[in-house]
Amino acid sequence: MEGGSGSGRQPDGRGIAGFVQRTRLQMRRDRRRERAMLEDAGFVARMLEVRTFVSVFRDVAQIIDFLQATTYGELAAGDRAGYYASFRDAMEALLAGEYADRVGSDGIRLERYILLAIADKR
């Protein structure tokens, strides 16, 4: 990992720690926006909760397959073969460098953050 500490912390807010901090701030903004959207639609939010899911992929090709499946094949427009080749190369470089701590003997571990909303109709 760059920076030598292995923690992902860099003084300028880059790296994993900076990403997590920015993600948490964005999720708080998103929760306010989601709450407002629910209220505009006539619902009263009872609970908004962010859940973290960890997925383990055997390799970058499986990550791309997952992204294609979860976007119904609409991950890239136009030159899909060229896009996927560039995307694969970029992912492999990131996993060999800044995100090397995500790669282990069990595969590549990636986190996803999901906003769960429970609401009542007014």
Compute φ and ψ for 99, nearest 5 degrees: -110, 25
Mean pLDDT of 32-43: 87
| pTM (whole model) above 0.85 | no
φ, ψ for residue 79, nearest 5 deg = -75, 80
Domain residue spans of the chain: 15-121
Phi, psi at 118, each rounded to 5°: -120, 125
CA 39 to CA 32: how far, in whole Å? Answer: 11
Of 53, 20, 19, 47, the closest CA to residue 31 belongs to 47
Q: Give per-residue pLDDT as tens, 59-97.
A: 999 999 998 898 887 877 766 778 888 989 999 999 999
Q: What is the mean pLDDT of the chain?
A: 81
